[in-house]
Amino acid sequence: MSQSAYCKFLFSREQFLFCYIAVPDLPDRLPAIGHDGKYYSLFRTVESAKQGLQLAAKVSHNGHEVAITQAGKNYIVWIQKDAAVVYQPDQQSDISASVENHTAILKVTFSSSPCLILSNLSAENFCLLTVSNSVAPVMGFQHQQLYYRLIQREQDARTVVNSIAERACRGDKIVVIPMKNDYGIFISDPLAIPTIQRNS
Beta bridge partners of 73: none
Residue 17's domain comprises: 6-106
Cα–Cα distance measured from residue 34 to residue 106, given in angstroms and rounded to the nearest whole number: 6
Flag whether 28 is in a domain: yes
Looking at residue 123, its pLDDT comes to 75
Q: 3-class DSSP state for residue 159?
A: helix
Residue 102 and residue 119 in one domain = no
93 and 153 assigned to the same domain: no
Whether 90 is in a domain gets the answer yes
Asked whether residue 28 falls in the same domain as residue 100, the answer is yes
Q: How many domains does the chain have?
A: 2
Spatial distance between the Cα atoms of 197 and 44, rounded to a whole number of angstroms: 47
Residue 22 phi/psi, 5-degree rounding, is: -120, 140
The DSSP code sequence of 112-133 is -PPEEEEES--GGGEEEEE-TT
Beta pairing class for 183-188 and 126-130: unpaired
pLDDT along the chain (200 residues), means of 10: 77 88 85 89 95 88 84 93 77 46 53 83 83 86 89 94 91 90 93 71
Shared-domain flag, residues 19 and 84: yes
* DSSP code of residue 90: T
Please indicate, yes or no, whether residues 142 and 51 belong to a single structural domain of this protein.
no
Considering the domain architecture, whether residues 39 and 99 belong to the same structural domain is answered as yes
The residue out of 55, 80, 106 marking a domain boundary is 106
Interstrand relation of 138-143 and 146-154 (parallel, antiparallel or unpaired): antiparallel
Secondary structure letter of residue 179 according to DSSP? -
Domain membership of residue 1 (yes or no) is no
H and E: helices and strands count for the chain:
3, 14
